[in-house]
Structure 1
Amino acid sequence: MGKKRLKPIAGTDSPAAVVATYLRGIYTTATELSLVQLASRTGYSQAALSEALSGRSIPTLELITKFVRECGRTDAVVEAEHVWRRETARSRGSTRSPHPDLVETWDDLHRELVLLTHQAGLFTPKALCDAARAAGHPIKPTSAHRWLTVPRPMRSDSLHTILNACQVSMGMREPWVRAFDRAAGSAQATPRLPGRQPTGPPVATTGPGALFHELRRLSRGRGLHAPHVDRHVGPTLLQLCDLTAMDGPETVRRKVGDWVHATTRHLPHHLRLAVTTPLGLNPDAQFRFLQQRIDWLASEQERSPGTCRRRIDEAMRRLVETAFTPETGPGMAPVSREHTWHVREFEAILSLTTETPQCTESRTIVAHRDGLDRITWSLTLARNEDDSPPKLDVSVVHGAQLLSMEWPSTRRVLLHLGLPKRLRAGESHEFVLRVSLPPGRPMSPRYVFWPERRCERFRLVTRFGKTFPAAVWRVDHVFHRDADEIETGRDHVEVNDVGEVHVLFSDLQAGHGYGIRWEHRPGV
């Protein structure tokens, strides 16, 4: 039985037409099956498949997934899902990425969170419930419906539940936390109507109170040994433990564990035990549930479980007090990375004229406190096919000393740098690095800077070889998940007569990407 001739799609710009065009490309090139045969294999009727290919309406994701698989294109399932999510979001009016920086009120926060859920493909309360459950934070359908439909004040833990469901990493949450604070602040500043009562006290998102609740929440279940623990760390621990967007679960466990041990170093032994045991940091009490660890602590200290719970709360409060003590001595809590230094200017000169790509990076930093003599700078690279860390040649041109290199993941390297002198608060300092890939290793067609702290200005100069790229376009204020999905031709940048591209960015925000991507000419 041959394939049925398909009627032309009326209009090709609508979301449904884009999905249908994509499915037709799969259908016409990947299989010899007819729609009748595909209907029997997918479990959908021939009419449903014809409707999906007609461009009149967007089919369900389940239909698309089964259709692509039965066409023999299992390699295209992820791409098909992306097309469906993108066009479904466009059909619902979600044509832009969420921007928490635009939030000033609760209405603004609701609007941007809805855009965030749409970007994650969560268009219904049920989808949000399922995603939250998969992330380890189950919610009630009524709560999900309220969050998606009614602009109203919410608690900080509700915000983090939504961010968990949308798979927003901890390093990307600071803008959302600041947005929450602005919305809560605007609500407090709004005059109340006569007789109107507040719904409850404002919930702090950072600070001592927030840290106490974050530690208690982190103690549940397996503690720091819980799967996806990187999604459970709150914004205060994020800052205190110097966590970043690319830190995986193992790095989170190590950094939080090191911070807890350092901060509790001068506490009495029984209080240290009352902190490390519930968090799962005590090697003698590696139990699956918190209650089992409390029972072990009660037996060890010859106290009742109720007394141990009160002692745990006391120890956690002592830990919080120590963490927020201004005079932090050796072994105390480290100063938040956000308040240590920032980048005034970053200039990168990328040379692609030789077989070995080379980049000279100049940075001017400004200290926020006295005595700054060491900093950490991170680089993110494309992953090797075997998931091994890419080899990298890093040298200091001037202004710093390379103390060590650390690979927290197969894509990210941390450069621990020593400064030539201790900087005073407000003092600036410039240093230059030269980074190159091994000979013969191709470079992915992009250069994107992911600032992990405030950066005032970023200038990128890229010099191509004898063969200019077919197209170059800007990468401006994008999330990690969107970096590979920027359409060719958007924010196009011209290559000048000597093969160079110059781009400039100002007021860069942490957790977003800035730079360029390019497309090689065919055959190059």
Structure 2
Amino acid sequence: MTAVLTDLISDLKLLRKGRGLFVSRIDERVGTTLRTVCDVTDSDGPAEIRNKVGERLGSWAKKLPPDLRLAVMAAFAIAPDARLPLYQDRVNLAAQKLNRDPRTARRRIDDGIHHLAQVAAAFAPRPGAVPHGATRWHNEELRVTLALDRDRPEVLEQRRIVADVDDLSEVDITVPGAAIAVDLFHGGTLVPRTDRRPGYSLRLPEPLQHGQSHDLALRAKLGRDQHTRPWFVRVLEHPCATLDLRVRFDRRRVPARIITFEHVQPRDLGSATGGVTVYADAAAEVQASFTDLAPGMAYGVRWDVARAGRGDDGAGVLAARARPRRDQAS
């Protein structure tokens, strides 16, 4: 177990005591490592600390199995009906909701805290990582799905951004380089950039203050040449805590070899070797996760050639000789 993970577990177990998030001196209750992963600063007051920590824990809890999510939401008094004065009261509430005895509920809470710490550990800074304060905003979470099983490939992108300054009203969004059309589902107003860089500016519905987060989602339709390019990458302009990348292949043309790679210089994409082998599931999908993404570096998935699947007429071999192009996301 890493030192960061051990410290986070210790910090979370300390925080669950008493009133949990609603302890009066929360500035003394939130440990150093938990402060770091929740972006708590020395200038934050009790209310801001409570909001930041509560928002992060609630967001990370969504990644847990339902029973563990329920347990930790009660343990830290995040759930509105769990804002009880004593920890034992919240354990009993969790036991009732889980239809288990209090001792089992305590085990669920302990399990939930360990899982929560594992999720939170991805947000701890690593040596050489670009600090969030180096830009006006950063990506807290970026989810990208590439669908290749249609006439024109499409990318669905969902992200949560966090302001690193006050009064952030506009952010730059770079879309995949092969995009021929972009639609914003929600999150503001998308306006083409006036400079020479490819992409858009997103005007936020209202300015964000330092530490506030904002969700947005967009879809990009790509040119048909994406079908013949055996890779898909993201080159970031802003720091990103986590990237979840999924590629859905045509079930008749599942590549024989698929690898994920990270932290590669864009100019080296054509000659980069190594990577981690992954396998498509029964739905012809692969998934890769990356943490602490550095601006200017490439992260993505590469595949070799397609093998014929059920119903394939043998014409499904992907061309794999072209020189890579960069698909960027800010």
Pick the structure with more strand per residue: 2
TM-score by length of 2: 0.50
Q: Which has the higher contact order (CA 8 A, sep 6+)?
A: 2
Q: TM-score of the superposition, structure 1-length normalised?
A: 0.32
Higher Cα Rg, which structure:
1
